[in-house]
Amino acid sequence: MEIQEHSVTTYRVWDPVVRWFHWINVLAVIALSAFGTAILFSKELGMTNDGKVLLKVLHVSCGYVFAANLLLRVVWAFIGTPHARWRALLPSVRALGQGEWRERRQYIGHSPLARVSVTLMLAVLLAMACTGLVLAGTDIYFPPLGPWIAEWVAAAGVAPADVLPYRPDLVDAAAYREMLAFRSPFVLVHEYGFYVLMVLVVGHIGGVAVSEVRNGGALVSAMFTGRKLLSKPPEDG
């Protein structure tokens, strides 16, 4: 739907699900980054084991919100409004190959470069969510994998439900070493995924700012109102 206002046309683009996803994701990533950084430097901060567990519980709790929100967005990309779907999100080889991103063009949805950025960000977010759920189970025995991990490492005579983090007396040493070996690649992906995500976030913010100044379109306000303001016919109209 479009509404003419002088030489600017208003286009409906981002539906409420997309907008809510975006801002919930922003808050979740900020919270997860803060708690994750504190966990990463817990030794330098002189935290006790109880303090580390509290931080990890808070981190995982935010992670559940983050993962559920991300899952909703993935599902919505199959059944949502036109500009929310995969065909409007995934990169266009044709547009990139023809250099459309170099020209001052306006789009109702994502521009060719924005599609690349969003696709990369979604891929990293999914990797962070999946590895985070594994680490939640192997670190503090939280669902969905926690009960199975606790059963794996529980010492003889200890009920899996009684296994607690930072309690080596409750776990079988050999089984725990096996679990740590299983956990190791997930830790690696999760940690380096965080660094990659931070680079993508900075690039995303910078790209939005540059595009806003160069091409207009009210990109920031559109994620609040759901409407873009375009001064020329959109390429994806």
Give the whole-number percent of the chain exceeding pLDDT 90: 72
User: What is the rounded CA–CA span in Å between residue 14 and residue 84?
Assistant: 7
Q: pTM of the full predicted structure?
A: 0.89
Tell me the average pLDDT of the chain.
Answer: 90
Is it the case that residue 113 has pLDDT exceeding 50?
Answer: yes
What pLDDT was estimated at residue 4? Answer: 45
pLDDT digits (tens, 9 = 90+) for 162-213: 999 999 999 999 999 999 999 999 999 999 999 999 999 999 999 888 877 7
CB 18 within 8 A of CB 75: no
Asked if the model's pLDDT at residue 128 lies above 90, the reply is: yes
Mean pLDDT over 120-134 rounds to 97
Q: Is the domain 2-230 a CATH 2.60.40.1220 member?
A: no
Return the domain boundaries, the chain: 2-230
β-strand partners of 229: 10
How far apart, in whole angstroms, are the C-alpha atoms of residue 62 and residue 32?
6
Residue 135 contacts residue 110 (beta carbons within 8 Å): no
Are the beta carbons of 19 and 224 closer than 8 angstroms? Answer: yes
